[in-house]
Structure 1
Amino acid sequence: MTDHTSVVGLWVTADGHIRQELRADGRYEEARGGRRGAYTGRYTVTGDHIDYVDDTGFTATGDIRGGVLYHEHLVLHRERTTR
């Protein structure tokens, strides 16, 4: 992966409690439970690695391995949309 388009989409935990939307413009929004926008900020992609900077200045990292996003202690899978 070399750009945002390779990770764009909605990533969710197995229980659906945490939903992280990675947008093509390099922004993200993370929802937790019923709380939309629990975290918002920007992200950059380098290879299979993602660096996050929350709008409050908090930083985090993630890696995609085998189609799974490992974001700090979270394990997220890309949500498939049906049309």
Structure 2
Amino acid sequence: MEDTALHLDGSAGPGGKAQSTSPVEHPYAGMWVTADGYIRHALLANGRYDEARGRRRSAYRGRYWIVGDHIEYLDDTGFTADGDFRDGVLYHAGMVLYREAS
């Protein structure tokens, strides 16, 4: 597993390391949703995420870093979370999210 994030907006990553200022495409960018469609989690190519819950758009927003198959989140309000990608599924904070078909 690599020790650097794949992309970010130029700020320091979870380990305090400065990251690249230019976005890098990665296989996990895109929309991830729960099976019932209630939670919609957009991983943007610029290192930001935007999570909708039900009819509430942008319920949570912030930055994220991906190291290998692990994702770390820093919400704009300051709380942190993490998750893991396994076999094409995102396991995050007790939720199971699937990539939305494009």
Q: What's 2:22 paired with?
A: none
Indicate whether 1:59 and 2:80 are aligned.
yes
CA RMSD of aligned residues (A): 1.4
Q: Which has the higher strand share?
A: 1
The percent of aligned pairs where both chains have the same amino acid is 63
Does 1 or 2 have the higher relative contact order (CA < 8 Å, sep 6+)?
A: 1
**Runs of at least 4 residues off by over 4 Å:** none
Whichever residue aligns with residue 3 of structure 1, its letter is: L
- Aligned with 1:31 (options 14, 28, 52): 52
Which 5+ residue runs of structure 1 have no aligned equivalent? Answer: none
Whether 1:21 and 2:61 are equivalent positions in the alignment is no
1:3 equivalent in alignment to 2:6: yes
Once the two structures are TM-superposed, the CA of residue 3 in structure 1 deviates from its matched residue by 2.5
- Structure showing greater Rg: 2
Structure 2: unaligned runs, 5 residues or longer: 8-25
